[in-house]
Amino acid sequence: MGEAVFMPGTGNGLDILEAEILKSRYLREGEEDWEDVCERVAKAIASTPEEYVEFLNLMVSKIFVPSSPTIMNAGTVSGQLSACFVIPVEDSIEEIFDSLKTAALIQKTGGGTGFNFSNIRPDGSPSVSGVGTASGPVALIRLFNEATEIVKQFGRRRGANMGILDISHDDVNPFIRAKREEGKLSNFNISVMVPDSFMRLVEQGNMDEIWNAKTGAKVGEIFSEIVEGIWRNGEPGILFYDRINRDNFTPALGDISATNPCGEEPLLPFESCNLGSINLSLIVEDGKVNWDSLRETAGKAVRFLDNEIDINVYPVPEIEEATGKTRKIGLGIMGFHDMLLKLGLPYDSTEALGLAEKIMEQVTYSAVRMSRKLAAEKGTFPEYENSIWELPIRNATLTAIAPTGTISILAGCSAGIEPVFSWVYRRARITGNEFMLVHPLFEAHFKPKLPESSYDRLLEHIYTRGTLQDITDPEIVDEEEKKLFRSALDIDWKTHIDIQAAFQRHCHAGISKTINMPQKARKDDIGKALVYAWMQGLKGLTIYRTESRQRVVLSLKSPVNKL
């Protein structure tokens, strides 16, 4: 890792980081800046001159930004625009390698792939041919992981996978431990698919109940393995099967058993989904939410994402067919914490919780309204008659909240619905060096207020500790500022979950969010959080305990003295 250089926010480090990302990932031949990229993408997606102007304005203003594959590939020979895919994995050598090839073609173009490996027979069971024994799902995941490592050499974006195993599978404990050693399966996130019946036993304390009669595994044994893995390094994640399938809008096509790599888009086999996000920080005007602007942007974004389905170049025919049947899109949001800062609302306030629910309600309402308008113009999705929708609509599902790690940098806002990690932090660069960044709204608030020496000491303190809550000098930070400028680790895990649940109540698909816990968090806290998340109606959960991994994208400086 190269030497870190401190680069305070608005006019320096963030601009340089954005320029680096543009150059390394998105600029095509002849393009020099973001406006050039937007022109290429808008021209490719629009079907009329009016749409071109509309889509160009959305992107140039950064009030709406589509996902990375669309920005990279629209208007190019590749033409693959989707971010999310689910590929089935069946239990024969031919089907396994068909899935592997399909995944490679997707990842080459910047898409992410999700797999449920539960159809693979357990390690040591008789093979299909009757000669020898099966290697099991964990061995297969290692194969897929190595294939992704090779595919990286051909693309601009790191390959990403989600490996899922049902909690009833005989190999679930080895699967849970598969990433216990840091660096193993580095191209995979892993998650356990858990039904309500299992969580109900945990919630009731029935830990001695036999869950798997074949292996003799008890509920408590499996749950403890999950908690241990999360406590050690944040994996596995949890997916709640029954909650996901209660929002399966096309149940006649089968149950949903897998998601994309970040977990926000549950999909049927071979389905793909186009993602894009509204920048909430630009919806605030004169200290108030411009609800008309939010609704208008959501409607335009739905037309943008729906257009993508028809011009998309799909990696294999099965994906084109499955995607065409349901026409799913994933409109989400980013910049939520920045919005709160502009409104003067702490992330962990009652007002923030209410606003979160109202925002998603309005985004989804506006998305549905536009999708119904598109259905009148162009027709419903083909499987509409086999869906739970009562009125004609163009898209089976419309909303999902992605992590927006890269596109939020391009948009100049906080990521997804996450609280700001730290007001001063270190970020790994694509080139191998590191950026030290100051959040621009933090800088805009404190830099004019404080003498230069005090401001520099404040930055150093936060850069070291990740918080300003322990600063005792009211001349530097007063109590109201402490309430407003609470970052990820200042916020209780229950609040993290409550915010995710508030957005989930009006979101068709799922939500990618990290539930941050301090380094001192106990395993008991993690167990309680998993149960609480299930009871709050989340579709999935990722918990990260600070400093439980060595390699992270965002980090702080080693400790020094207090301010």
CA dist 323 and 270 (Å) reads 7
% pLDDT > 70, the chain:
92
* pLDDT the model gives residue 154: 67
Q: What is the pLDDT of residue 18?
A: 87
Q: Do residues 248 and 385 make contact, with C-beta atoms less than 8 angstroms apart?
A: no
Contacts of 349 (CB under 8 A, 6+ apart): 483
Name the band, by pLDDT with cuts 50, 70 and 90, for residue 563.
very low
Q: What is the pLDDT of residue 11?
A: 42
> How would DSSP label each residue in 445-510?
HHTTTS-HHHHHHHHHHHHHHS-STT---TTTS-HHHHHHS--GGGS-HHHHHHHHHHHHTT-SS-
Does the pLDDT of residue 243 top 60, yes or no? yes
Model confidence band, residue 427 (pLDDT cutoffs 50, 70, 90): confident
Q: Is the pLDDT of residue 48 over 60?
A: yes
**Residue 98: count of CB within 10 angstroms of its CB:** 17
Rounded Cα distance, 467 and 482, in Å: 9
Look at residue 208 and give its three-state secondary structure: coil
Confidence class of residue 5 from pLDDT cuts 50, 70 and 90? very low
pLDDT at site 134: 83
Contacts of 117 (CB under 8 A, 6+ apart): 89, 137, 140, 141, 163, 164, 165, 175
Which class for 343: exposed (0-12), middle (13-18), buried (19 or more C-beta within 10 A)?
middle
pLDDT of res. 6:
43
CA-to-CA separations, 468 to 359, 434, 457, 485, in angstroms, rounded: 29, 23, 11, 8
Work out the pLDDT band at 426, boundaries 50, 70, 90: confident
pLDDT at 249 over 80: yes
Tokens of 66: 């589509």
Q: What pLDDT, on the 0 to 100 scale, is given for residue 127?
A: 77
Q: Averaged over 409-428, what is the pLDDT?
A: 91
Mean pLDDT calculated for residue range 441-467:
94
pLDDT at 7: 41
pLDDT confidence band for 561 (50 / 70 / 90): very low
What are the tens digits of pLDDT across the range 353-389? 999 999 999 999 999 999 999 999 999 999 999 999 9
Give me the amino acid identity at 503.
F
Task: Calculate mean pLDDT across residues 44-52.
Answer: 98
Provide the pLDDT for residue 130.
67
Closest CA to 158 of 292, 17, 262, 66: 262
* pLDDT tens string 153-176: 666 566 799 999 999 999 999 999
Pick the residue with more confidence: 464 or 402?
402
13 vs 60, residue with greater confidence: 60
Catalytic residues: 260, 262, 264
Report the candidate in 273, 405, 260 with the shortest Cα–Cα distance to residue 327: 273
Per-residue buried b or exposed e for 111-144, using 16+ beta carbons within 10 Å of the residue's own CB: bbbbbbbbebbbbeeeeeeeeeebbbbbebbeeb
Q: Mean pLDDT for the chain?
A: 93
pLDDT for the residue 555: 66
pLDDT value at residue 436: 74
Identify the weakest region by mean pLDDT among 62-76, 119-133, 218-232.
119-133
Query: In terms of C-beta distances under 8 Å and separation of at least 24 residues, what long-range contacts does 15-19 make, across chains too?
Result: 16/435, 17/409, 17/427, 17/429, 17/435, 17/437, 18/409, 18/410, 18/412
What percent of the chain lies above the pLDDT cut of 90?
Answer: 85
Domain extent listing, the chain: 86-249
Tokens of 513: 């969010």
Question: Which has the higher per-residue pLDDT, 132 or 28?
Answer: 28
Task: Give the mean pLDDT of 529-548.
Answer: 96
DSSP 419: P
pLDDT at 430 over 60: no
pLDDT band of 101, cuts 50, 70, 90? very high
10 — pLDDT class (breaks 50, 70, 90): very low
Q: Give the residue, 25 or 328, on which the prediction is more confident.
A: 328
User: Higher pLDDT residue, 489 or 375?
Assistant: 375
pLDDT at 8 exceeding the cut of 50: no
Mean pLDDT throughout 78-105? Answer: 96
Q: What average pLDDT does the segment 534-544 reach? A: 97
